[in-house]
Chains A and B, each alone.
Chain A
Amino acid sequence: MTAPPAAIELVGVAKSYGQYRAVDGVDLVVPHGGLTALIGPNGAGKSTLFGIVAGDLAADTGRVLMAGQDVSRVTASGRARLGLGRTFQTARVFERLSALENSVIAVRAANKAALRVTDQPRGNRRVVERARAGLDLVGLGRQADRTAALLAQGERKRLEIALALTARPRILLLDEPTAGVGREDAQSFIRLIGSLRAADQDLTVLLTAHDMDVVFGLAETVVLLSLGKVVLSGSPEEVAAAEVTRRVYLGDKHAITPAAAPAGEG
Chain B
Amino acid sequence: MPDAPVPVATGLPGLSRIRGWTRWSWPLPAVVIIVANAIAVSVLGGADVYTWSLILIYGLFASSTNILFGWVGRASFGQAAFFGTGAYMVAFLREQDVPPLLALLVGLGAGVVLGIPLLILLRRSSGITFAMITLIVAQIIYQLVFTNRRLGGETGLSGITVTSVLGQDLTSYQAFSWYVASVVAIAMVVLWRLSESSFGMSLRAVRDDETKAAIVGIPVRRAQAIAFLVAGGLAGLAGAMLAQVQSTVSADLLFWTVSGNVVIMCLLGGRYRFWGPFLGAAVFIWVQNAFLQTGALSDLLIGAVFLVIVLVVPDGILGSVAPDRLGALIRRARTARGIGSSVAAGPTESTMDGDSAAPAPQPVRTGPDRGQGPR
Contacts and interface: CB of A to CB of B under 8 A. Distances in A.
- Are A and B in direct contact (Cβ within 8 Å)? yes
A110 interface: yes
A152 B219 CA distance: 29
A155 B1 contact: yes
B10 A167 contact: no
A150 interface: yes
A97 B12 contact: yes
B197 A120 contact: yes
Given A92-B212, A163-B216, A105 B12 contact: no
Contacts of A95: 208-209, 326, 330, 352
Interface in A73-116: 76-77, 80-81, 86, 88-90, 92-98, 101-102, 104-106, 108-110, 112-116
Contacts of A145: 7, 17
Contact of A119 (B8, B197, B209, B216): B197
B184 to A, nearest CB: 20
Interface in A144-194: 145-147, 149-150, 152, 154-155, 163, 166-167, 175, 184-185, 188
Interface in B1-49: 1, 3-4, 7-12, 16-17, 20-23
| Interface band, chain B | 35 or more
Interface stretch (B127-135, B249-257, B291-299, B337-345): B337-345
B340 to A, nearest CB: 11
B272 interface: yes
Contact of A121 (B4, B17, B201, B352): B201
Contacts of A188: 1
Nearest to B227: A115
A247 interface: no
A226 to B, nearest CB: 18
A115 B226 contact: yes
Nearest to B360: A92
Contact of B201 (A50, A105, A184): A105
Contact of A146 (B4, B11, B362): B4
A47 B343 CA distance: 6
Given A105-B218, A117-B193, A147-B326, A97 B10 contact: yes
Contacts of A213: none
A149 B7 contact: no
Contacts of B216: 80, 105-106, 109-110, 163, 166-167
B217 A167 contact: yes
Given A51-B343, A139-B1, A86 B198 contact: no
Interface string A208-219: 000000000000
B204 A97 contact: yes
A123 interface: yes
A51 B11 CA distance: 31
Contacts of B374: 17-18
A96 B208 contact: yes
Contacts of A163: 212, 216
A127 B17 CA distance: 15
Contacts of A147: 7-11, 326
Given A96-B326, A145-B7, A116 B198 contact: yes
Contact of A113 (B194, B198, B272, B363): B198
Interface of B: 1, 3-4, 7-12, 16-17, 20-23, 193-194, 196-199, 201-202, 204-205, 207-209, 211-220, 222-223, 226, 272, 326, 329-330, 333, 337-338, 341-344, 352, 360-363, 374
Given A80-B216, A154-B1, 12 more contacts: A51-B361, A77-B214, A92-B211, A93-B212, A96-B10, A96-B272, A109-B218, A110-B216, A115-B198, A122-B22, A123-B196, A147-B9
